[in-house]
Structure 1
């Protein structure tokens, strides 16, 4: 698959399954979707659903998908596979497919996904996907997986996790802006009085340290971060057979 994300979540397998298979819960933690709604189901056929993403206050891009799961497997793992498509002309994703795999691991579960899609808009779409959209999708998936982990492990709701992330990003941005522009630096030096002249020589070093701390220190424990997820698939990773049995939605 084109994108691979893996997170280890210390939670019961049934709890993780419920938070990922229930559309109402899924849409709360997954940054990629604003709405996930099941469509009328035909007995004996895979579950159909509608997904939507609000790109701008006045622009929502929607599509449909089909999914099927294997809740009981001989090796104790679980699998869910899906195919999706969007007819919206502004959707870069024309169609695609992927899977979730749940692998029990000691006191937790390795929750992993692999997925890929076909971009539209010809050569321009392929270039935009490679340079911008695909890295963004990978980051959003990993960030969402860590937000789910915080919900199950620490009880941090997805809404609270988003606020934590926004607050931390804002603080880091203010620190970088302060360091790069020297905003308020003269006031600080005035407070130092007779030591201001000596401190002035150290200011470039101190400002550089501030920038490094703002950019590279690890996120707080209750703040979701994509960097906590594995992004490189193991050599033996492959899509489940159930994915090949699904047809693209119409």
Structure 2
């Protein structure tokens, strides 16, 4: 099985020179590109047209992958196009990538937009094991990181959101979303569906509101809370989902404390849990906008008979 080259393209409202500088100057490039921790240009030799560079990517646990590359620029000023070809590789035995190459394409489009696209491919180490690890895991992650980085660059050039701020917002947002998903899943599945006899069913009976329908209502409530967990996970960029959560927290919390006021004396009670979850939801809601999104990029080249969709975020 042959792996397909990685292709990523995005449209943005930006100045061509600004886009060029943010992708060709190492001190700017390393800020938005998730794939590289360091990029350094090497001095050019006399008469040399291409630019050689060193790159390094930290992979955690104190380890990093280093390599070398070479890039060459082509300008078509009358057509509003620029092209930067590159070759790269690493001699480190730890590196899955042995050598590769590709291009960055810059093209002026209608409405003052620019198309920024890349296509690259590479050879791997470690024989058949390396090829399958690349196809099943590394290449999809590498492509996603490229697309996510391209949208982070778009946010920087279009909205002035620096890559550092984008990264901080993404960490805060996804941490808050993950916590909400886990809490709603736990509250819905464990005490209501798996172990209703350990307190939840008795608490519902003590309210006296359902007149014997507690055993039917409790699993339905648990299923609804579990469904809300999945809804938050899939719709985490939509602020209305956090408003829905806030309403449900208010309703469930008020129902619990008005039905059984003694619960407020407990160290862990519905009021404290609801307030904590509402605070996490507020953090997720406030960071839902201006996040890099790999889905804003096109991942396959446009075929000759295919109409290109607009690569603009919704």
Asked if Structure 1 and Structure 2 have the same fold, meaning a TM-score greater than 0.5 normalized by the shorter chain, the answer is yes
Deviation by residue 1:158-211 (Cα, 9 ceiling, x = unmatched): 011001111111112112211322279789996994558486323312321331
Q: Partners of 1:91 and 1:195 in 2: how far apart?
A: 64
Count of paired positions: 236
Cross-structure match for 2:35: 32
CA–CA distance in structure 1, aligned partners of residues 191 and 144 of structure 2: 35
Q: Which moved more, 1:166-175 or 1:145-154?
A: 166-175
The CA distance in 1 between the partners of 2:298 and 2:291, in whole Å, is 17
Q: Which has the higher strand share?
A: 1
Secondary structure of the 1:71 match is: strand
RMSD: 2.4
SS of alignment partner, residue 16 of structure 1: helix
Larger radius of gyration: 2
Q: Which moved more, 1:58-67 or 1:192-201?
A: 192-201
Matched ranges for 1:214-225 at <5 A: 214-218=233-237, 220-225=288-293
- The answer to whether 1:110 aligns with 2:115 is yes
1:207 alignment counterpart: 226
Higher relative contact order (CA 8 A, sep 6+): 1
Question: Of Structure 1 and Structure 2, which has the larger fraction of its residues in helix?
Answer: 2
Q: Deviations over 1:184-239 (max 9, x none)?
A: 97899969945584863233123213312213444733111111111111125xxx
1:147 is the counterpart of 2:152: yes
1:68 maps to which residue? 72
Match of 2:136 in 1: 131
Provide the residue aligned with 1:179 in structure 2: 184
Q: Counterpart of 2:58?
A: 54
Quickly say closer, same or farther: Cα 1:230–1:69, change in 2 above 3 A: same
Cα distance change on mapping 1:72 and 1:182 into 2, 3 Å: same
TM-score of the two chains, using structure 1 as the length reference: 0.86
The 10-residue stretch of structure 1 (17-26 or 206-215) with the greater mean CA deviation from structure 2: 206-215
Query: Unmatched 5+ residue regions in structure 1?
Result: 237-250
